[in-house]
Amino acid sequence: MGLATRSETAWPDLQQVYEAIDARFDKHLAAIQDFLRMPSISNEGIGMEETAAYVRKLIADVGGTAEICPTQGYPVVYGEVNAGKEKTLLIYGMYDVQPVAGEQWISPPFGAEIVELDEFGKCVVCRGVFNSKGPLRGFFNVIALLREMGDLPVNLKFVIEGEEEMGSKHLPDFILSNKDRLRADAVFFPFYSQNRSGKPILYLGCKGLVYLELACQGSARGGPTSRDVHSSYAAWISSPAWRLANALAALVSPEEHILVDGLTANAKPPSDEDEELLNVLSKTFDANVWLKEADALRFKVDLNGKDLLRHYLFSPTITIDGLSAGYEGPGMKTVLPHKATAKLDIRLVPGMTVADALSRLKAHLSKHGFDDVGIEVLGSYGPSKVSVREPGVQALIAAYRHLGYDPEIWPMIGGSAPFYLFTEELGIPIIIGGLGHGGRAHSPNEYAPVSGMKLYEKSVATYLYVFGADTRIRQMC
């Protein structure tokens, strides 16, 4: 049964909505460009207040109530649009973007210019067009249009934070202290989900993350305490850098096996559902595409197909994100550094928790005599997981199929996001989606093809229709 033919609702016909999007897309695109042209760089404190106010107004303009909720950092914009419907969808998003300092762009990074890119045709090139002010603003285009044409199929709530690119430091406070008013049937994160081949990718979970800085420095134990000294003293003065190198080697072996006792003990193996999804995925999985994406010539594990995929998605990792000590310039400088630091991230798979990972790391360092290594937690997320059987997920699949797209369904992604706040803390499934494509997030020349931005709006409208419809309809999709 085609969705566009449903007649039992007061909502405008979907086909009419698609036509309206086509007709008005120039204006929609201009609205997105306006929003993108407001820099909102949380890490540098640029444009945050104005952009939060702009988002508040977007919610108010579609008939919602909205407020700017202070946090210890940048505020969360919270809003509600009560359409008097059965279902409520909570929209999670962010109004901040990554910095652009030091980057070379083909057009101004906040110019939102239309640039012809070889592989993709006309694209908007701008910081945030893909991740994720483009899809957020497009979502409001759809809501405004639906309200103008008739009614919304679902009630909406909005949690739009300003610190995602800083690790969502204060989102947990907001979520945990607003549990009651955040009740919803599902959370939706607006996103351009088509890969560069046009395939929509549907992710059902993400790994957790503990981001740490390990620091060794001179102290009562020995070593220079406040400044780098001449390296000739190394014969009788301890070296924090050797200490750090050895502490690191106690965590991960030369073959990159995790050595931290019990770190992975609670990791859940993939469920039967995950295995089924992996079966399907592995049929189209092209390892070479992923190698290219990772700028690598081979994988570090001797696995193929489904086994390789399973390993990627369901393995916890410890990664050195950065190392720093002493003299790092060109040529020689003979110093004994007083301090050495390593930035590490631990990726957690379902079953693991931030607190457990941290306590096992500390216990392991301590057991191996590295009590003196400083550990600072710079940020953390729990892992997050949603079943493919969730109605909100099934609705997205149905919406994609209605538009002629068959999604690739991933039980997990390798990356991390604050989605556990919804799935674990609020107990609400989160669905990430929308058609459209984008790339170069966190990199120069972040882009999204214009045609995909239009298709995205149609997919969002479709999703809201399917999600808002009654159970029978969803089951028929």
Which residue in the set 68, 149, 378, 477 belongs to the binding site for its own copies (CB under 8 A)? 378
Q: How far apart are CA 58 and CA 52, in angstroms?
A: 10
DSSP state of 27: H
CB atoms within 10 A of CB 387: 14
Q: How wide is the angle at C-alpha 202 spanned by C-alphas 317 and 306, nearest 5°?
A: 55
Shortest separation between residue 359's beta carbon and its own copies, angstroms: 21
For its own copies, give the closer residue by CB, 10 or 297: 297
For its own copies, give the closer residue by CB, 141 or 239: 239
Q: Does 252 bind its own copies (CB under 8 A)?
A: yes
Identify the CA nearest to 184 among candidates 223, 150, 153, 157. 157
Is omega for the bond preceding 132 within 30 degrees of 0, making it cis?
Answer: yes
For its own copies, give the closer residue by CB, 82 or 253: 253
Q: Does 97 bind its own copies (CB under 8 A)?
A: no
Which tokens hold the place of 418?
């604050």
Sheet holding 121-125, edge to edge: 113-117, 121-125, 447-449
Shortest separation between residue 314's beta carbon and its own copies, angstroms: 8
Which residue in the set 61, 86, 108, 327 belongs to the binding site for its own copies (CB under 8 A)? 327
Q: Does 17 bind its own copies (CB under 8 A)?
A: no
**Contact set for its own copies, span 386-425 (CB under 8 A):** 413-416
Q: How far apart are CA 104 and CA 84, in angstroms?
A: 48
Identify the CA nearest to 59 among candidates 162, 194, 172, 156. 156
Q: Does 286 bind its own copies (CB under 8 A)?
A: no
Q: How far apart are CA 352 and CA 175, in angstroms?
A: 21
Q: Does 269 bind its own copies (CB under 8 A)?
A: no
**Contact set for its own copies, span 337-356 (CB under 8 A):** 337-338, 340, 342-343, 345, 347
CB 337 within 8 A of CB 227: no
Residues near 132 by Cβ (< 8 Å), separated by ≥ 6?
A: 93, 94, 189, 190, 191
Q: Does 363 bind its own copies (CB under 8 A)?
A: no
For its own copies, give the closer residue by CB, 71 or 451: 71
CB 423 within 8 A of CB 385: yes
Q: How far apart are CA 51 and CA 49, in angstroms?
A: 5
Q: Does 369 bind its own copies (CB under 8 A)?
A: yes
Q: Does 127 bind its own copies (CB under 8 A)?
A: no
Shortest separation between residue 172's beta carbon and its own copies, angstroms: 15
**Contact set for its own copies, span 211-250 (CB under 8 A):** 211, 218-227, 229-239, 241-250
Part of the chain binding its own copies (CB under 8 A), chosen from 147-155, 295-303, 389-397, 469-477: 295-303
Shortest separation between residue 177's beta carbon and its own copies, angstroms: 24
Q: Does 264 bind its own copies (CB under 8 A)?
A: no
Q: Does 45 bind its own copies (CB under 8 A)?
A: no
**Contact set for its own copies, span 188-207 (CB under 8 A):** 207
**Residue located via tokens 């099934």:** 394
Q: How far apart are CA 119 and CA 15, in angstroms?
A: 29
Which residue in the set 308, 358, 375, 403 belongs to the binding site for its own copies (CB under 8 A)? 308
For its own copies, give the closer residue by CB, 133 or 339: 339
CB 415 within 8 A of CB 206: yes
Shortest separation between residue 262's beta carbon and its own copies, angstroms: 19
